[in-house]
Chain A
């Protein structure tokens, strides 16, 4: 394994900014698939996803020095990718669409998996089940089914701003729930009670 392959993302960025072009190539290797995935989930369209992913890495190529290693590099790159998607969406006047591979909410509504989260990891399923219903619905429609804000707003009959707020609150709560669960069961099997997907939401962390 080369030094670069073993290096942290943050070290690679620093090396690239210092002039090591191979460090940039390593970052591309590590993140090209993930960035494409972020963009594909946003657009639900291969060409748009590819264009936005390319823009994301062009930003990294040209502006890597703006990453200041406060949050993780992967977080910074996620935000850059989202900005690239938002910009491309505006430029093409094309609202993001549901990913074709995403499950159809209507199908799930008629099944025994009404929110369509069975594909998710168990801890995420459990955390989702603990959300307030209105937050869970918005998060699932947006993140799992890939629906854009406007479509969710129309479906739920609420303003777009309300949809955004519900989704962001849902994300915040999910992160808190997962942190709490991790703190309770750091080894994964210490006798503590896991989050129960059947338990009604309590509103508590």
Chain B
């Protein structure tokens, strides 16, 4: 792979091609994204996109009968269920702010992974990599999904920690269902009464989470507004769920990583997008990589989702953590902030 671009060196064509395919690691992806402000770089990207489309002869494929009708039906349904689909950042922020500030409606779902079951090897993994974990999550979503529920009376809701069995597990959210769920979420948000004044919203106090057993995945829709990396670091450096997995043996982390992905596959939508929509971007290429928190976060004014992930730099224990903030529509990495030393 080519060198990662720097502000002094625009990305080369190879990096642009990799960006187009979604194959870059988060840092390189973010660097290319930022470099597209340069018209020459954007033009080179356009040229590569043209080449790839021509090579694949994408314009020669004939969609099946009824494709356009089904597509438009789906889009019409989405528009009806979420009439305010194109919203300003301020509008979206206002809805999320209400969600985050209103204690009675705060949404913080903890997707417990069933640590005991994991340790006992129930539903264990094949010890694979992060990529294997993703594949497994997709294949096994329906029969290994975690049960979860939310209670709107409490600021934080824990998930029933037992692992669901094949017979009683809720169906995994499919690609077809996820947008509908997101649309439903948007509708619910839009129906909320006017909330408190806008403004930066502190993260749910750690005390509310400190009793959670680890390793868990925390899904928090409370919007954090971070102007820079230092703010991101301060918001996530001391998470209890992160501390719970640091030092975990790699073999155990392998299994937990897969369970985390499976849990996210069935999680509620976050900010209109599936909670795991960009999780692969957040995972990066270290193995294993545990997702411990998914958090709504606006970075330098851009709406995003933060994945707090932990991994191993060697082959012994989990010893590295970082926050990867992703723009959920395109999985563009807005920033990646290490929480531990490399």
Contact = CB atoms under 8 A, between A and B. Distances in A.
Interface of A: 16-17, 19, 21, 25, 28, 32-34, 36-38, 40-41, 46, 50-55, 57-59, 61-66, 70-72, 74-76, 78-80, 82-83, 86-95, 101, 119-121, 124, 139, 143-144, 146, 161, 164-165, 167-169, 171-176, 178-179
B82 interface: yes
B45 A71 contact: yes
A17 B46 contact: no
Query: Which one of B16, B61, B137, B327 has the highest number of Cβ atoms from chain A below 10 Å of its Cβ?
Result: B61
Contact of B14 (A40, A76, A168): A168
A38 B58 contact: yes
Nearest to B173: A91
B329 A59 contact: yes
Query: Which one of A41, A74, A179 has the highest number of Cβ atoms from chain B below 10 Å of its Cβ?
Result: A41
B59 A79 contact: no
Interface of B: 1, 12-23, 36-37, 39, 42-64, 67-68, 70-72, 74-75, 78-79, 82, 85-88, 134-141, 174-176, 179, 182, 265, 272, 276-278, 280, 327-331
Contacts of B62: 33
A32 B49 contact: no
Majority secondary structure of chain B interface residues (helix, strand, loop or mixed): helix
Contact of A87 (B74, B272, B277): B277
A61 B137 contact: no
Query: Which one of B56, B70, B78, B327 has the highest number of Cβ atoms from chain A below 10 Å of its Cβ?
Result: B56
B12 A172 contact: yes
9 pairs of A and B residues whose beta carbons are closest in the complex: A172-B13, A93-B139, A63-B329, A37-B58, A93-B138, A37-B61, A171-B17, A143-B55, A168-B17
Majority secondary structure of chain A interface residues (helix, strand, loop or mixed): helix
Contacts of B175: 51-52, 55, 87-88, 91-92
A48 to B, nearest CB: 9
Nearest to B47: A175
B22 to A, nearest CB: 5
Given A21-B79, A79-B22, A176-B13, A71 B36 contact: yes
Contacts of A93: 134-140
12 contacts: A33-B59, A33-B62, A38-B56, A50-B64, A62-B86, A70-B36, A71-B36, A71-B46, A75-B20, A83-B22, A93-B140, A120-B55
Query: Which one of A61, A66, A72, A75 has the highest number of Cβ atoms from chain B below 10 Å of its Cβ?
Result: A75
Contacts, number: 221
B259 to A, nearest CB: 15
Given A33-B63, A70-B37, A79-B330, A64 B86 contact: yes
A55 B179 CA distance: 8
B51 A178 contact: yes
Contacts of A78: 20, 49, 52-53
A67 to B, nearest CB: 9
Contacts of B36: 70-71
A34 to B, nearest CB: 6
Given A34-B59, A66-B327, A167-B17, 17 more contacts: A32-B71, A34-B53, A41-B58, A46-B64, A52-B175, A57-B74, A63-B330, A79-B19, A86-B22, A87-B175, A87-B278, A93-B134, A124-B54, A124-B55, A139-B55, A164-B1, A164-B21
Given A58-B75, A66-B330, A32 B63 contact: yes
Nearest to A66: B329
B78 A80 contact: no
Contacts of B140: 93
Contact of B67 (A25, A36, A89, A101): A36
A197 B150 CA distance: 63
A103 B58 CA distance: 15
B61 A40 contact: yes
A61 B71 CA distance: 12
A83 B75 contact: no
B320 to A, nearest CB: 20
Given A36-B67, A72-B46, A174-B51, A41 B61 contact: yes
Contacts of A86: 22, 280
Given A28-B71, A37-B60, A38-B53, A70 B42 contact: yes
A41 B138 contact: no
A16 B85 CA distance: 11
A169 to B, nearest CB: 5
A93 B42 CA distance: 33
Contacts of B141: 91
A199 B103 CA distance: 71
A173 B185 CA distance: 45
B85 A62 contact: yes
A16 B39 CA distance: 24
